[in-house]
Amino acid sequence: MTRLRTTAVHGGRDDLADLGVHALPIDLSTTYPVPDQAEGGHALQAFADGAAHAGSPVYARLHNPTVARFERALAALEGTSAAVAFGSGMAAVTAVVQAACVLTGKPHVVAVRPLYGGTDHLLSSGLLGVRTTYTTADRVADAVTPDTGLVVVETPANPNLDLLDVAAVVARAGDVPVVVDNTFATPVLQNPAALGAAYVLHSGTKYLGGHGDVLGGVVACAEEHAGPLRQVRIVTGAVLHPLGGYLMHRGLATLPLRVEAAQRGAVELARRLAGHPGVEFVRHPSLPGADPAGLVGTQMRGPGAVLALATREDPVAVVRRLALVTPAVSLGSVDTLIEHPAALTHRLVPGEAREASGVPANLLRLSVGLEDVEDLWDDLDQALSGPRAMRRTPSSPRGARELVETH
Ligand SMILES: *Cc1c(COP(=O)(O)O)cnc(C)c1O
């Protein structure tokens, strides 16, 4: 086993030398010749039974070699025997619920809030035929029933950076598998499978891709859990496109460097923002009092590069004044992104539940990118310092049309 940065660069590339290529090959085939149709039938049966590979991929919904390389690389980074990739983070969450609850006939989920708004909404919507009990990390054992198929947690949680002790939650869940959404920490900072999590889930759209140009999801787990996930993926068609697999695999090579650099910026900005008169409070695991259980340095190798800040002024006005920071949802990109969870990512979480789980209406989520930290500070400082400072001039669609018409 190589170390983190080496694994990030070399993982999933073991067959490239034999292929005589250096860059990751992108296989766009939707179908594969099966001259011996009986043999093709055996391969198809193997995939339908949950196999990772067979003689021929047969059809791209069953298997894709480019995606499979990305899966091997991600599994190596998470320290699991397998990983299964999906077309988005939400497709991955859906597949985990289907494999752990629907396939096993255990239609009850226990979830700890806050969660990413999409996950929260999926679990409470009834769409997958499961019932969800929301609870706190210390009460998981009380919420588990004989019908419980899955415990769902995030740490650090989206959007307020709450931390929870994964090993303690796994112990409280007993026999029930736990899925840890590891999107915020990435395998660079945390490996929940080593702490007993059955499923480690990523929205690959965020840090794994890392450049804001690919949508995907992936679940790292033991082979015993991977088989049912692959079966679900084949049946529902929630596959990752090979271009997405390529982009996320390429992203992994620089993942440790990107996360470490962005984290340095986040630690500095969290410290400065906590002392800013326009800020009510800041949430980041690096700040004093933010990590009473001492999880940073034990469970996590670092506090991460996402922080949240509660503004004294209307957060919408603060965002409007930003000139450098990108006002957009998502996170983990090379550029710094800011968004208002109550308006956007957590809009579908009922207001009372959102507030009760520590996500007030004046909270902004900041995903720190790779810019010079002094430039980010200048922009945040002026935006938080009130309306007299520099204003962003939004390019209105009307203005754009006029520009076109006058040319
Ligand atoms: C974005 C996100 C998701 C959903 O991922 P998509 O790729 O957008 O479907 C799930 N969990 C967390 C923590 C996220 O930030």
Q: What is the pLDDT of residues 36-50, one digit of tens each?
A: 999 999 999 999 999
**Reduced 3-state DSSP string for 64-76:** CHHHHHHHHHHHH
Active-site choice (5, 27, 61, 272):
61
Q: Is the pLDDT confidence value at 236 over 60?
A: yes
Q: Is the pLDDT confidence value at 148 over 60?
A: yes
**Which tops the pLDDT comparison, 281 or 348?**
281
- CB of 89 shorter than 6 A to ligand 1: yes
pLDDT, mean over the chain: 94
Average pLDDT over residues 216-239: 98
Is 116 designated active site? yes
Residue 294 main-chain phi, psi, to 5 deg = 65, 40
Is 181 designated active site? yes
Give distance in angstroms: CA of 101 to centre of ligand 1: 20
Percent of the chain with pLDDT over 70: 95
pLDDT band at 388 (very low <50, low <70, confident <90, very high): low
Position 387 scores a pLDDT of: 83
Mutate to test the pocket of ligand 1, among 96, 97, 153, 183 (most ligand atoms within 8 A of CB): 183
Q: Is the pLDDT confidence value at 107 over 70?
A: yes
Position 373 scores a pLDDT of: 98
Neighbouring residues of 105: CB distance < 8 A, sequence distance ≥ 6: none
Average pLDDT over residues 119-140: 97
pLDDT in tens, 288-346: 999 999 999 999 999 999 999 999 999 999 999 999 999 999 999 999 999 999 999 89
Position 382 scores a pLDDT of: 97
- Would you kindly state where each structural domain of the chain is located, as residue ranges? 4-253, 256-405
Is 61 designated active site? yes
- CB of 119 shorter than 6 A to ligand 1: yes
Position 349 scores a pLDDT of: 87
Q: Is the pLDDT confidence value at 404 over 50?
A: no
Q: Which fold has domain 4-253?
A: Aspartate Aminotransferase; domain 2 (3.40.640)
Average pLDDT over residues 115-142: 96
Active-site choice (162, 165, 181, 291):
181
Place of tokens 């990772």: 52
Q: Which helix (H) or strand (E) holds 170?
A: helix 166-173
Q: What tokens does 207 get?
A: 């840090």
Average pLDDT over residues 25-36: 98
Position 348 scores a pLDDT of: 87
Give the architecture-level CATH label for domain 256-405: Alpha-Beta Complex (3.90)
Q: Is the peptide bond before 394 cis (omega within 30 degrees of 0)?
A: no
What is the C-alpha to C-alpha distance for residues 154 and 252, in angstroms, rounded to an integer?
21
Q: Is the pLDDT confidence value at 391 over 80?
A: no
Give distance in angstroms: CA of 216 to centre of ligand 1: 9
- For residue 202, the SS3 value is strand
CB-neighbour burial class of residue 27 (10 A; exposed 0-12, middle 13-18, buried 19+): middle
Count other Cβ atoms within 10 Å, centred on residue 33.
9
- CB of 155 shorter than 6 A to ligand 1: no
Is 134 designated active site? no
Q: Give the closest residue (by CA) to ligand 1 atom 7.
A: 89
Q: Give the closest residue (by CA) to ligand 1 atom 2.
A: 203
Neighbouring residues of 103: CB distance < 8 A, sequence distance ≥ 6: 228, 231, 232
Position 386 scores a pLDDT of: 87
pLDDT in tens, 53-104: 999 999 999 999 999 999 999 999 999 999 999 999 999 999 999 999 999 9
What is the C-alpha to C-alpha distance for residues 175 and 159, in angstroms, rounded to an integer?
29
Q: Is the peptide bond before 360 cis (omega within 30 degrees of 0)?
A: no
Question: Which stretches does DSSP call E strand in 53-129?
Answer: 82-86, 108-112
